[in-house]
Amino acid sequence: MNSSETTLVSRVERAIRHENLFKPGDTLVVALSGGADSTALLDLLSRLPGYNLRLVVAHLNHRLRGAESYADEEFCRGLAARYAVPFEVRRIDVKDLASTDRLNLEDAGRRARIAFFDEIRSAYGATAVVLAHHADDQAETVLMRLLRGSGMTGLSGMAYRNARGYVRPLLEISRLEIEAYLRGQGIVWREDASNSDTVYLRNRVRHELLPLLETYNPAIRSCLGATASIISGDEVLLCELTEQAVADVHLAGDGDGELVCDIAKLRSLSTPLLRRVLRYLFMQVAGTLESVSLSHIDAICDMIISDRPNSMVTLPHEVTPVREYDHLIWRLGKRAGRDTDYELLIPGPGCYQIPSGGSLTVELTDKAAFPPESGTMYIDRTKAPFPWLVRTFRPGDRMTPFGMSGRKKIKDIFIDRKIPISERKQIPLLWCGDDLIWIPGVCASERTRIDTPSALMIRVAWNRG
């Protein structure tokens, strides 16, 4: 190799060490398309001094260009043989996949590649999947995300290492340098005609927008790369601040797609930090931020600062943030049994399982504790004879609360006690005939008053379960 080629190998090796992408002796899956970038990547990885890597070539035939696609496959097979490394190939009709899953071709191809590369990585126990994205790709990516609308995470561009364990050691190398390296080594590559098709946004950015911007700043590509690097560093710091804020506002979680946060603490955050916290929480619940826009996040912000104590927002991926007084509750999917209506007959003493959860224990007693224990009520049997009925709350329900003479709407009692809307149908209402005699944990009826303790008392206890 001449000095310029040696320099390129050294630059790649420095990026690998600086970003801790992989170590000597590791097994790596090399994503090979046959184009200049991935062909150079394979050669550079094979030449890293002292690394002695175990390379596995993986090629996905998208079947988009007829005979050309199969020619690319054979070219990659030949390269793998030249470097004496295993070759893995898969053929997928990406156009058919896009139609079936209602995706554009770019998204369908990306998903197919990820699934394939992940499978090969697992099969070989590889440390990482190595991608050939370079400095020009980085500039194009930043511009594309800027055009579509993006926050700092998107404008950070592509990372040297992503969350899937994919690494990109060529991010500081330009396309021109890569092609010059291949020519110097006498290595040929395949040209994909679709790279010139401006029906794709990336190609329009590459062939139309970037050349136009270069008339304003000839170094626009390196400037965009440098900007992405700066933003990426700032993003790391902001992620740390976000995680600290999340830890402060997060109160609880049930491990079943539900998180509970403190409204007052959320309100205390600045708008930029609040938005980041909400995106983080959404990711925790749904596992993805795909299809989540600024308007979705701001809808949650509006709910948090609103004076309305109960409200909800429906978001993508069946995520539903619910405002319940002082809490913001994140729910995923339909919470089973939460809105189930039921009626349960209580013919006499016994233990009864409540359909919405928990149980009701009814027993005769001649002793009463005053005030009653939590979740417990004592009733004079002569005032409330069996059978009883337990059912869910219904609009229009009323009762005469203990110590009062007039009837009051149950909805107003729930509001006064700040019972969240989502919990109102979880509380069993105990009826004797047409009279509501007890709302466990909330309020008893005047009808349950015991004037003189006697052997005709009944102890009722609600176990929430």
* pLDDT score for 455: 64
Distance from C-alpha of 298 to C-alpha of 275, rounded to nearest angstrom: 7
Q: pLDDT class for 369, splitting at 50, 70, 90?
A: confident
Domains contained in the chain, CATH given? 3-229 (3.40.50.620), 254-332 (3.30.465.60), 343-463 (3.50.40.10)
Distance from C-alpha of 416 to C-alpha of 439, rounded to nearest angstrom: 14
Tell me the whole-structure pTM to 2 decimals: 0.65
431's CB contacts (< 8 A; 6+ apart) are 388, 389, 390, 391, 437
CB 431 within 8 A of CB 437: yes
* pLDDT score for 370: 72
Residues facing 310 on adjacent strands:
324
User: Among 7, 25, 32, which residue's Cα sits nearest to residue 83?
Assistant: 32
Q: pLDDT class for 3, splitting at 50, 70, 90?
A: low
User: Among 58, 69, 118, 74, which residue's Cα sits nearest to residue 94?
Assistant: 69
Q: Which residue has the higher pLDDT, 75 or 403?
A: 75
Question: Rounded mean pLDDT of the chain?
Answer: 89
Residue 254 scores a pLDDT above 60: no
Q: pLDDT class for 30, splitting at 50, 70, 90?
A: very high
Residue 337 scores a pLDDT above 50: no
Residue 292 scores a pLDDT above 50: yes
> ∠149-173-167 over CA atoms, to 5°?
70
Q: pLDDT class for 448, splitting at 50, 70, 90?
A: confident
Distance from C-alpha of 154 to C-alpha of 145, rounded to nearest angstrom: 6
Q: pLDDT class for 340, splitting at 50, 70, 90?
A: low
Q: To the nearest whole percent, how much of the chain has pLDDT over 70?
A: 95
Q: Give the dihedral sign, CA 146/150/156/158.
A: negative
